[in-house]
Structure formats: structure tokens, C-alpha cells
Structure 1
Amino acid sequence: MAQNSKFTTLFVNYTANIKRYINKIVSPDDIDDIIQETFIRTYEADLKEEIKYARSFMLKTAKNLALNHVNKWDNKYNDPLDDFSDPVVGLTSLKFEEQFESKERFLLFCRATEQLSDVVRKTFILKKVYGFSQKEIANYLNLSESTIEKHVAKGLLKCAEYMERVEQNSTPKTSVLKINARSITK
């Protein structure tokens, strides 16, 4: 314990010299982080084995940490621009009007599903919103697959009729929902 106290005192006394030395390598904002990491590394090394030349060891550790920090920063910001030519994520966003219309259309869909009977609503939402298969829905609701297929088709038809009716009665802002034979069986 006395050895650790001696080491800590030596580090505190020598910190100003370390700061001046690594100030030439890294920016002033990074100095405190490197000093802290230097203390941790040298303290851990001293716990494992007594360091004969502690000041030299601290200075060398600080220098290596500072150089590693600069190398990491350089590598981070020196990536070739070719890597960024194809964005990973699409950079397009919806305009405010499109977002509003999309939310308005979703609310209309929610109101349309409220008009359905309980069993038809459950089967329709499980199929079209959550993407369950007809077999999964049939097992979950204890109904036959053909009944599930009929409920989904009925739900789709009733929702489309409700949405079309509401859209015709209001000013035309969005297109009318189109139904085809494939969307009923999906």
C-alpha cells in the first residue's frame, strides 16, 4: 500500500511535465484524457510488477497513448471519399404535406377497421398489419383457414369501401384504395 501511495505522489508531481510533453502531440482538449489513461495504465503496470524507472515509464506511456490517439483520429477522417459515393441509407425524406397525408390516411384506415366486427377486425389486422399467415391466425383464433381467408377478404373489402366513401365525401387529397385479387389472398 505504501508503494502505491509513493507511485501516486510521484505521478501527481510529474503530471505537469507529462502535459507539456504531450501538448506537442495532441490538442489541448485531449490532454486530460491522455493523462488520466496514462495514470491508469502505469498504475496497473506498477501493481503487476514494480517499475524501476517510473518517470521514464510514465512519459513513454503518455507519448504512446498520445500517438495512438492521433493515429486513430487521422484514420477516422482520412477515409477515401469513394467509400461515401453510394449512401447506405436513402437520403430522401417525405415532404411535410406527404407526411401529413400519410398520417391522415393511416387514421382513416384505423377508423375503417373500427367499423368491422370483432372477429373480422382481429383476423384482418393480424394478417395485414402484423403479417401473420392464415395458418397462424387460424391456430390463434381457433378457426379454420378458409374462415380466416373469408374474414380477411371481407375486412379488406369493407375497409376499402369505407375509405373510398369517406374520400369521396371529402376534398380529394389522396388516391382511392384499389383492390385486386392478389391483395386479398396475400
Structure 2
Amino acid sequence: MKDAETATIELFRERRLVFLRVLMRRLGNLEEAEEVLQEAFINFDRAAKKETISNPDGYLMKIALNLAVDRIRKDASRRRREDSWFDANSAGRIGAQYIAAAPQQDQALIAKQEMAQLAACLEELSENVRGAFILHKMKGLPHSETAEILGLSQSTVEKHIMKAMRHVTANMAED
């Protein structure tokens, strides 16, 4: 058992940066890449103690990539939940009537007023928070593209969007 542990430590020392680069490309975030790599090494170590692994590099890479895919799916699922929560909690206040194909004149006036109210509400936010909200919620860009356009991390963009959503929801509900 000691040999398996020594081999795992050596593999970690020798190949850590290679695996970390691959995971960073996949996840786009150093912290997440390090967390996934740590978890992959723990899983690898458990497996190495139970059985002989003929291709340690390949086995560890497979574990790491599977964990990265799981994390990406979990993040996407979380974002979908946040988006649906926002849509469900703000559709009436932000103007579901904008979706209507041919709104009546009074509905068009209400929609115009609500859009002006939304614009005024967004003006109260910082440029980056407002930009993240507009690019993601109104233009439909994914968090990654929004982050790239604004020159921010994806995590920061997600936080800005949530801040804007809370602000818009609270302010549109008041009126």
C-alpha cells in the first residue's frame, strides 16, 4: 500500500501543472481547476490503493475531466434555476407584455412606461453591473461571453447579474 501512496505523490509532483492547465482551459477558472484536480487526486489515490492502475496518467486525466464535466453541468443547472427564478419573479413587473405580437395601444403605452422605468432603474447601477445584466438578460449572451466582453471573470459577471436582478426586482415591485 505504501508503494501506491508514493506513486500517487510522485505523479502529483510531476504532472500537477499539466493537469492544471488542461482543467483551466476546460473550466476557465484557476480556483475551480485546483479544486477539481485535488478531488481527482483523492479519487485516484483511493482507486490506486484498491487495485493496480496500468496507465496512471490516463486514469487520472479521465477522473479529472469527468469531475470537470460534472462541475460544468452543475453550474449550468444552477444558472438555469437562477434564470427561471428571475423570469418567474419578474415577468409581470418587467413587462411580459413585450412578448405579445400586437399589443393594444394602451398596452403599448404601459410597456413603454415600464421600459423607461427599467432603463431608469438600470441607470442606478454601476456600469459593469448594468452591462452584465443587459448583455446576459436582454441580449441573451451566456455568462462566458458577457465576461469576455466586459473583461471580468465569469464569477464576477454572475455576481453582477444577481445584484442587478435583485435591484431590478425590488425597484420594479415598488412602483
TM-score (norm 2): 0.45
TM-score (norm 1): 0.43
| Greater Cα radius of gyration, structure 1 or 2 | 1
